[in-house]
Amino acid sequence: MEIETKEFRTSKNQTGALTFIEGCKDILFEINRVYYIYDVAPGERRGFHAHKTLEQYLICVHGSCKILLDNGMEQSTVQLADPNEGLYVGPGTWREMYDFSDGAVLLVLASDYYTEDDYIRDYQAFLDYVRNEGIR
């Protein structure tokens, strides 16, 4: 499956780097929530869910991690290791995050507030969901 990444604008000089992300320009959905994942113990894997409507950008702002994406037909993996790279994860995409480096911080920009109703946490239910969505 196709991986959609975006390189955010960055100002770099001898003093350091500054990456900036602007609503409507860099991110086309309305950002209603920001959260970040960190302190992930070695070998741990997270995610194991899809969302029905949520859109997200995942940015590994420190360290690196790998993301498995699955649309019910195909899978792809991507390593995020650059703080100015964002990975788009849209609705109906199963995701797993793993291989977090020591101290990695995964920042997520999300289109909506947290609600458990938007989650599909069972893989078989996810497959049924995307197949039924495809028929419509």
- Catalytic site residues? 49
Q: Indicate whether 46 belongs to the interface with ligand TYD (CB under 6 A).
A: yes
Position 38 contacts ligand TYD (CB under 6 A): no
Question: What mask, x for binding ligand TYD by CB under 6 A, covers residues 95 to 114?
Answer: -------------------x
Nearer to ligand TYD, 20 or 114 (CB): 114
Nearer to ligand TYD, 10 or 29 (CB): 29
The answer to whether 27 and 92 have CB atoms below 8 angstroms apart is no
- Please tell me the distance from the alpha carbon of residue 79 to that of residue 86, in angstroms, as a whole number: 11
Question: In this structure, what are the phi and psi dihedrals at residue 126, rounded to the nearest 5 degrees?
Answer: -65, -45
Q: How far is the CB of 52 from ligand TYD (least distance, A)?
A: 14
- 106-131 exposure pattern, b = at least 16 Cβ within 10 A, e = fewer: bbbbbbbeeeeebebeeeeebbebbe
Asked if 36 touches ligand TYD (CB under 6 A), the answer is no
Report the interface residues with ligand TYD, using CB under 6 A. 33, 35, 37, 46-47, 49, 114
